Amino acid sequence: MLRDATAEPSPDRDLTPIDRLIAGADQALRTVFATLASARPYPAEGIPETVSNDADRRNVVALMRVNHAGEVAAQALYQGQALVAQSPKTRQALLDAGREENDHLAWCSHRINELGGRPSALSPLWYAGSFAIGAIAGLVSDRASLGFVAETERQVIDHLDGHLRQLPADDARTRAILQQMSDDEARHGSDAVNAGAVALPTFARLAMKLTAKAMTRTASRI
């Protein structure tokens, strides 16, 4: 079973820009290099393992490696957006959502380990690039930043639905993880819309989709 997180990060109140930079650097190091714990129970706990043959194992590991890379990117996006958010309320909402994404990261890592796989070797690259994208989105405006969250989560849900269809039919362990992740992403997207997200232009949505596709293809192999 995954360990519970021993301490919830303090709310982002009364922090100076330097404090936030230091906190962001710490989060980056932990995301890329540390073995993270989840604050919530592992969704696959108590479900029997059914992935036994090598072909299925390789397939599931590749899928979860992509999802792990996506969660590394999600952490970076939220951190980049939170760093430049104009409203303390928006900043705190981004950080709160990021803490749930931390659970996803821990679950993906745990599932990969269960199957004898490894995460993408390019995690530092995924983090750095996504942090920059998140900061750029956040600099436009808080509403644009929230729009970026809403569109990201919509695309992630589509991506997870595709992975659910690719799983071995009897792999209930991985399915439970991906379904919980999808439910969380749907809530994050709805929260962003309710907080005032603006719809992104078509070219921005297409650029996001193409970027995600390139990362997916690379992370599944490297």
Give the pTM: 0.78
- CATH label of the domain that carries residue 128: 1.20.1260.10
Task: Give the pLDDT of residue 3.
Answer: 38
Band of residue 211 on the pLDDT scale cut at 50, 70, 90:
confident
In a domain, 4, yes or no: no
Which one is predicted more confidently, 214 or 118?
118
Nearest partner of 217 among 56, 62, 55, judged by Cα: 62
**For residues 180 and 2, is the Cβ–Cβ distance under 8 A?**
no
Buried-state track 1-16, b at ≥16 Cβ within 10 A, e below 16: ebeebeeeeeebeeee
Residue 146: both structure tokens together: 């929230």
Task: Give the pLDDT of residue 6.
Answer: 35
In a domain, 32, yes or no: no
Q: Quick check: 20 pLDDT over 80?
A: no
In a domain, 199, yes or no: yes
Task: Give the pLDDT of residue 23.
Answer: 58
In a domain, 11, yes or no: no
Task: Give the pLDDT of residue 27.
Answer: 61
Count of domains in the chain?
Answer: 1
Rounded CA separation 146/93 (Å)? 10
Alpha helices in the chain (DSSP H): 17-33, 54-84, 88-114, 123-140, 142-166, 172-194, 202-219
| Residue 136 structural domain | 54-219
In a domain, 16, yes or no: no
DSSP 80-101: HHHHH-SSHHHHHHHHHHHHHH
In a domain, 15, yes or no: no
In a domain, 47, yes or no: no
DSSP 165-201: HHS-TT-HHHHHHHHHHHHHHHHHHHHHHHTTPPPPP
CA 11, distance to chain mean position in Å, is: 20
Band of residue 12 on the pLDDT scale cut at 50, 70, 90:
very low
Kindly tell me the burial class for residue 141, based on how many C-beta atoms sit within 10 Å of its own C-beta (0-12, 13-18, 19 or more): middle
Each residue of 39-59: pLDDT tens digit? 789 999 999 999 989 999 999
